[in-house]
């Protein structure tokens, strides 16, 4: 009797549920989310149909004119948060006095807690250790609240070999969706390094995450098969899949009930179901109902299901001169016509087959039009004979080569010695591939991981071969790469925080802060996938390569001390504004701070009252610090005499102190965050 059990804590966690419900409440208005609200394409599509639009970057937010911008549950960095607030302040007012652009913060409270922890730790001078995936939006947001130096890694070897600054306390936090048991291994490393884990480590794995992972372990251990439901790009769902796979080899990753059509679950009696934090309950219910309905159907009929092309075993019920009737354990009997038994048209089947004989046959049609199953004895025998190559490959774990003859729903059909082998989409490559048509009519190599010709179940696996070859190439590439090497790489993927560049059998990350000496906007607007980018290897840590386009001979600060010496009159363009002043681009990569008190001899409340972004201005250099790369400007110093207003000496002194006080903040605003 089939049983289907759903984990108690499967589906939306508190933070995700809160964020989605907030967006749904606002959907009747003009609503935008900064990035997709969660990593589930069905939820995102449903919200889009309700009018919710997705902004890819803060730059896109500056163009909308009016509306509500929702910060998703992953949260954002301090810079992004401040820029959004500034956009709201600058948007103007509606007739009712409300802002034309309003910001709604739907950041998960557990993530907000980490923001506060790392921000405080930075202020206290602690070295922050962030355990998690550096590419995940939650982690990218957390890093944006660290003002000091830090380490970000999800690799134990990196943490073990890292030399922490001597004489400084550390603060270690972890991504909320990280595997809790694996995080404990990182904690042990910190303890071995001599740190007090009670004061140096904060367990920020979300309670819901920990509950899900514990349940997944227990449920998978007690199940014949596990179904993991969630978005392909969901970090916490992938971790549930990894955990379940370790306890239950028959673990399957699906995004919806529709994906169950590609799976053969008929042989499993105990099936467990769990889902990631970004999976809505209606999808979980659809999967559960589909499994329970199918289980009930099998129980009622107590009959096996069959498919076209499958080889089945049967017992002969009756033999006629030109056909054989076979009981194959299905709701309908199978019919083997003479032409599908032999090529000898003169043979009387009654002379070679007897009632009660058992035989194998290949299913040609599950329903031949008369409610019976059309079978072929001859083709089944041919299949068994022609599968010797595959049988040997299966037993010896050898690589075989076949031609892709069909791209079907859920994978590839590959022909080896006239026998079809099915390679599921999840086993075609070591990365998710949405379109498999590029493999059509090509020869590919793979392993045979399952061989059962009688049930026509021959399964191939190309994934482990690709992963192995890639690992070998990566190791060889790493052995030949040195820090400082220059490459003309190819852009493979672009994210909000940088671009992944193929530099020959290995990818490196060109972080947004290393894309040039100047301030870089959204990487997706700077680069295109497939284009060639000249860069050099800045740092190698394990198998992770950090790239940079900041070549020393292009450093705009090389001759800045002469060009922007104190007393020089310079020309530049207003690049961006803050509450305390404006940053003026003097050259690509070189900005100067024009404090609000130095804009005019007349009192200026806000920089935007006098200046506009892109405006060209002339100013005097009043301070230059080459070590800190800080330049302070003054328009007031060269203002015409008629603009002079009487200022008390005390007021002038206060203004000077105010400029000095904001220089440190200006440095932090101008300097980009670092990324491991």
DSSP summary character for residue 595? E
Copy the structure tokens of residue 145.
């609240």
Tokens of 474: 């990566």
Q: How confident is the model at residue 476 (pLDDT cuts 50, 70, 90)?
A: confident
Mean pLDDT, rounded, of the chain? 84
Two tokens at 413? 């059909």
pLDDT band at 456 (very low <50, low <70, confident <90, very high): low
> Is 479 in contact with 462 (CB distance < 8 Å)?
no
Q: Which single residue is written with the structure tokens 């009712």?
A: 96
Residue 596 near residue 604, CB atoms below 8 Å? yes
Residue with tokens 């490959």: 393
pLDDT of residue 228: 93
Predicted local confidence at residue 103, as pLDDT: 93
As a whole number, mean pLDDT of residues 488-512 equals: 88
* pLDDT number for residue 82: 93
| pLDDT the model gives residue 316 | 93
Interatomic CA distance for residues 278 and 208, integer angstroms = 12
pLDDT of 79-137, one tens digit each?
Answer: 999 999 999 988 888 888 888 999 999 998 889 999 999 999 999 999 999 999 988 89
Q: Which two tokens stand for residue 116?
A: 């506060």
pLDDT above 90 for 616: yes
Q: Are strands 53-55 and 31-34 parallel, antiparallel or unpaired?
A: parallel
Picking from 84, 87, 23, the residue whose alpha carbon sits closest to that of residue 54 is 23
136-145 residue pLDDT tens: 899 999 999 9
> Once rounded to an integer, what is the mean pLDDT over residues 181-193?
91
Angle between helices 180-192 and 207-221 (to 10 degrees): 110
Question: Helix (H) and strand (E) counts for the chain?
Answer: 18, 31
Distance CA 456, CA 422 (A): 10
Q: Which neighbouring-strand residues pair with 68?
A: 31, 102
CA atoms of 162 and 151, how far apart (whole Å): 9
Annotate 119-183 with DSSP letters as a single string: HHHHHTTPEEEEES-TTSHHHHHHHTT--S-EEEES-HHHHHH--PPTT--EEEEE-TTS-HHHH
Average pLDDT over residues 132-159: 92
pLDDT at 649: 43
Q: What strands, in cross-sheet order, belong to the sheet with 127-131? A: 150-153, 127-131, 170-174
Apex 527 CA angle, 467 and 525, nearest 5: 125
> Is residue 647 annotated as part of the catalytic site, yes or no?
no
pLDDT interval class at 10 (50, 70, 90)? confident
In sequence order, the 6+-apart residues with CB closer than 8 A to the CB of 525 are: 57, 59
Structure tokens at 260: 């169950």
Rounded to whole angstroms, the Cα distance separating 57 from 76 reads: 11
- pLDDT of 672 higher than 50: no
| Cross-sheet strand order for the sheet of 53-55 | 53-55, 31-34, 67-71, 101-105
The half-sphere exposure of 530 on its side-chain side, counting CA atoms within 13 A, is 0
Chain position carrying tokens 């700077």: 526
* Tokens describing residue 673: 């965050």
* pLDDT greater at residue 300 or residue 524: 524
Tokens 């009997």 locate to 333
- The one-character DSSP state at 222 is T
Specify the pLDDT at position 384.
54
Residues in the chain: 676
> Average of pLDDT values for 536-563?
87
Percent of the chain with pLDDT over 70: 90
538 vs 34: CA distance, rounded Å: 31
Between residues 154 and 367, which one has the greater pLDDT? 154
Q: pLDDT (tens digit, 9 = 90+) per residue, 36-49?
A: 887 777 788 888 88
How far is 277 from 211, CA to CA, in rounded Å?
Answer: 11
In this structure, are strands 419-424 and 411-416 parallel, antiparallel, or unpaired? antiparallel
* Residue 31 pLDDT exceeds 60: yes
Structure confidence at residue 303 (pLDDT)? 46
Confidence of residue 506 (pLDDT cuts 50, 70, 90): confident
- Residue 138: count other Cβ atoms within 10 Å of its Cβ: 25
Q: How high is the pLDDT of residue 656? A: 44
Burial 395-424 (b: 16+ CB within 10 A, else e): eeeeebebebeebeeebbbbebeebebbbb
Given 138, 210, 340, 676, which residue is catalytic? 138
Q: 373 and 306 in contact (C-beta within 8 Å)?
A: yes
| CA–CA gap between residue 560 and residue 265 (Å, rounded) | 69
SS (H, E, C) 91-108: CCECCCCCECEEEEECCC
Out of 384-388, 576-580, 663-667, least confident range: 663-667
- Cβ pair 461, 449 in contact under 8 A: yes
Nearest of 342, 335, 394, 395 to residue 362 by alpha carbon: 335
- CA-nearest of 510, 511, 519 to 59 is 519
Q: Is 51 left (phi over 0), alpha (psi -120 to 50) or beta?
A: left
Structural domains in the chain, sorted by start: 14-108 (3.40.50.11270), 110-205 (3.40.1010.20), 311-384 (2.40.50.140), 387-467 (2.40.50.140), 481-554 (2.40.50.140), 560-670 (2.40.50.140)
- pLDDT for the residue numbered 294: 55
Which carries the bigger pLDDT value, residue 628 or residue 111? 111
Q: How far is the C-alpha of 432 from the C-alpha of 241, rounded, in Å?
A: 15
SS3 state of residue 210: helix
Instruction: Give CA–CA dist 425/423, Å, rounded.
Output: 6
- List beta partners, residue 334: 326, 373
How do residues 299-340 score in pLDDT, each as one tens digit? 444 445 677 878 788 899 999 999 999 998 787 889 999 999
Instruction: Compare 234 and 593 and report the one with higher pLDDT.
Output: 593
The pLDDT tens digits for 249-290 are 899 998 888 888 778 787 788 899 998 888 888 888 888 877
Greatest mean pLDDT range, 20-29, 164-173, 413-422: 164-173
Nearest to 253 by CA among 422, 132, 410: 410
């Amino acid at each position: 009797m089939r049983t289907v059990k759903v984990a108690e804590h499967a589906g939306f966690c508190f933070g995700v549920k809160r964020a989605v419900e907030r967006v749904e409440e606002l959907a009747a208005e003009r609503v935008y989310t900064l990035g997709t609200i969660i990593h589930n394409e069905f939820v995102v599509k449903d919200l889009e149909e309700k009018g919710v639009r997705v902004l890819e970057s803060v730059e896109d937010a500056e163009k909308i004119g009016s509306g509500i911008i929702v910060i998703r549950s992953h949260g954002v960095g301090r810079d992004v948060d401040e820029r959004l607030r500034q956009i709201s302040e600058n948007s103007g007012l509606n007739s009712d006095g409300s802002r034309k652009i309003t910001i709604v913060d739907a950041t998960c409270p557990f993530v907000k807690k980490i923001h506060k922890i790392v921000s405080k730790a930075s202020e206290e001078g602690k070295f922050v250790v962030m355990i998690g995936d550096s590419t995940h939006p939650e982690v990218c947001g957390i890093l944006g609240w660290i003002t000091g130096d830090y380490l970000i890694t999800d690799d134990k070897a990196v943490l073990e070999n890292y030399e922490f600054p001597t004489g400084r306390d550390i603060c270690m936090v972890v991504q909320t969706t990280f595997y809790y048991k694996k995080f404990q291994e990182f904690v042990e490393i910190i303890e071995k390094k001599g740190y007090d884990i009670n004061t140096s480590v904060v367990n920020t794995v979300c309670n819901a995450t920990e509950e899900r992972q514990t349940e997944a372990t227990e449920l998978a251990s007690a199940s014949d098969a596990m179904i993991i439901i969630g978005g392909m790009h969901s970090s916490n769902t992938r971790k549930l899949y990894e955990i379940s796979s370790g306890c239950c080899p028959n673990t399957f990753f699906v995004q919806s009930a529709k994906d169950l059509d590609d799976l053969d679950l008929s042989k499993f009696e105990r099936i467990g179901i769990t889902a990631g934090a970004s999976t809505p309950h209606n999808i979980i219910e659809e999967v559960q109902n589909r499994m329970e309905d199918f289980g009930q159907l099998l129980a009622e009929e107590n009959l096996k299901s069959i498919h076209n092309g499958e080889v089945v075993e049967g017992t002969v019920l009756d033999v006629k001169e030109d056909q054989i009737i076979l009981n194959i354990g299905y709701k309908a009997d199978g019919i083997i016509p003479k032409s599908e038994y032999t090529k000898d048209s003169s043979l009387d089947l009654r002379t070679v087959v007897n009632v009660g004989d058992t035989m194998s046959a290949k299913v040609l049609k599950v329903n031949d039009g008369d409610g019976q199953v059309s079978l072929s004895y001859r083709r089944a025998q041919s299949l068994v004979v022609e599968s010797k190559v595959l049988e040997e490959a299966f037993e010896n774990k050898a690589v075989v080569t076949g031609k892709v003859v069909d791209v079907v729903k859920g994978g590839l059909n590959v022909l080896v010695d006239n026998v079809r082998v099915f390679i599921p989409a999840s086993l075609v490559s070591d990365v998710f591939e949405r379109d498999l048509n590029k493999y059509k009519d090509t020869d590919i190599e793979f392993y045979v991981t399952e061989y059962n010709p009688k049930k026509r179940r021959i399964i191939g696996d190309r994934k482990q071969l690709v992963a192995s070859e890639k690992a070998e190439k990566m190791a060889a590439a790493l052995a030949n790469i040195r820090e400082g090497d220059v490459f003309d790489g190819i852009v493979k993927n672009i994210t909000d925080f940088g671009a992944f560049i193929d530099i020959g059998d290995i990818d490196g990350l060109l972080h947004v802060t290393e894309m040039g000496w100047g301030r870089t906007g959204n990487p997706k607007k700077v680069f295109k996938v497939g284009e060639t980018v000249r860069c050099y290897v800045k740092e190698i840590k394990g198998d992770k390569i950090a790239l940079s386009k900041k070549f020393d001979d292009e450093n705009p600060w090389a001759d800045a001390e002469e060009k922007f010496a104190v007393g020089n009159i310079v020309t530049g363009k207003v690049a961006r504004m803050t509450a305390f002043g404006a940053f003026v681009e003097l050259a690509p990569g070189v900005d100067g701070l024009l404090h609000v008190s130095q804009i005019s001899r007349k009192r200026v409340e806000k920089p935007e009252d006098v200046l506009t972004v892109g405006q060209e201005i002339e100013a005097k250099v009043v301070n230059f610090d080459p070590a800190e790369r800080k330049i302070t400007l003054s328009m007031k110093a060269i203002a015409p005499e008629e603009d002079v207003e009487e200022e008390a000496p005390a007021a002038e002194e206060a203004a000077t102190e105010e400029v000095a006080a904001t220089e440190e903040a200006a440095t932090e605003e101008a300097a980009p965050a670092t990324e491991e």
